[in-house]
Structure 1
Amino acid sequence: MSPETSSPAARRQRVPRPYACAAATAALAAAVVVATLGVAPAQAASKVPGTDCLFFPPGNWFQADVSKLPVHKRSAAWMENMSSDRNLHPDFGPSFGEIPVPYGIPITIVDGDHKRVEVKFFYASQSDRVRYPLGGDTKVEGGQYKSGDRHTVIVDRDSCTLYETWATSKKKGKWSAGSGAVWDLDSDKLRKDGWTSADAAGLPILPLLLRYEEVAAGKVDHAIRFTTDVTDKSYLWPARHQAGSVNDPDFPPMGARFRLKASFKISKSLRKDTQAVLRAMKKYGLVLADNGSPWYFQGTSDTRWKNGLMDELKQIPASAFEAVDTSSLMVSKNSMLVKTPD
Structure 2
Amino acid sequence: MKNAALLVLAMVFLITLIGVLIHDQQPVAGSEAPDLTSSINPDHEESNGDQSPGGSSQSSSDHEIAWSTKSGEMQRSPNSIPKPYEPGVVHLGPGASLGGKLPFPKDSPWNQRIDTAPVDPLSRTLISSIGITKNLFPAFGSGTWEGAPIGIPYVVISSSQPSVPIVYTAYGDESDPGPYPIPADAQIEGHPNEDGDRHVIVIDRDNWKLYELFRAFSIGDGQLWRAESGAIFDLAQHPSRPVGWTSADAAGLPIFPGLVRYDEVMEQKEIRHALRFTVNDTRRAFVPPATHWASRSNDPRLPPMGMRVRLRANYDISDFPPEAQVILKALKKYGMILADNGGDWYISGAPDPRWDNDALHTLKKVQGKDLEVVLIENLVAE
1:29-56 per-position Cα deviation (integer Å, ceiling 9, x unaligned): xxxxxxxxxxxxxxxx977654686411
1:272-293 per-position Cα deviation (integer Å, ceiling 9, x unaligned): 1111111111111111000001
Alignment of 1:214-233 (within 5 A): 214-216=264-266, 217-233=268-284
Q: 1:299 aligns with which of 327, 345, 349?
A: 349
Structure 1 runs (4+) greater than 4 angstroms displaced: 45-53
The one-letter code sitting in structure 1 at the alignment partner of 2:179 is R
1:29-86 per-position Cα deviation (integer Å, ceiling 9, x unaligned): xxxxxxxxxxxxxxxx977654686411121111111111001122111111112321
How far apart, in 2, do the equivalents of 1:250 and 1:49 lie? 44
The one-letter code sitting in structure 1 at the alignment partner of 2:189 is E
Paired position in structure 2 for 1:148: 196
How far apart, in 2, do the equivalents of 1:315 and 1:124 lie? 41
Q: 1:248 aligns with which of 283, 299, 324?
A: 299
Alignment of 1:1-342 (within 5 A): 50=92, 54-96=102-144, 98-100=146-148, 102-121=149-168, 122-143=170-191, 146-172=194-220, 174-216=224-266, 217-266=268-317, 268-325=318-375, 327=377
Cα gap change, 1:232 to 1:160, in 2 (>3 Å): same
Cα gap change, 1:145 to 1:119, in 2 (>3 Å): farther
Q: Considering only aligned residues, what root-mean-square deviation do their CA atoms show, in Å?
A: 2.3
Cα gap change, 1:47 to 1:74, in 2 (>3 Å): farther
Paired position in structure 2 for 1:11: none
1:104-136 per-position Cα deviation (integer Å, ceiling 9, x unaligned): 111111121212111111211000012011232
User: 1:225, CA displacement in angstroms?
Assistant: 0.3
How far apart, in 1, do the equivalents of 2:300 and 2:91 lie? 39
Count, aligned residues: 284
Cα gap change, 1:252 to 1:46, in 2 (>3 Å): farther
Larger Rg computed on CA atoms: 2
Cα gap change, 1:48 to 1:164, in 2 (>3 Å): farther
Q: Secondary structure at the match of 1:78?
A: helix
The one-letter code sitting in structure 2 at the alignment partner of 1:306 is D
Runs (5+) with no aligned partner, structure 2:
1-86, 93-97
Q: What TM-score, normalized by structure 2, do the two folds share? A: 0.70
The one-letter code sitting in structure 1 at the alignment partner of 2:151 is G
Judge conservation of contact 1:116–1:133 (CA < 8 Å) in 2: yes
Q: Secondary structure at the match of 1:232?
A: coil
Cα gap change, 1:189 to 1:228, in 2 (>3 Å): closer
Judge conservation of contact 2:251–2:292 (CA < 8 Å) in 1: yes
User: 1:189, CA displacement in angstroms?
Assistant: 4.3
Query: How many percent identity over aligned positions?
Result: 38
The one-letter code sitting in structure 1 at the alignment partner of 2:218 is K
Judge conservation of contact 1:234–1:254 (CA < 8 Å) in 2: yes
Q: Secondary structure at the match of 1:314?
A: helix
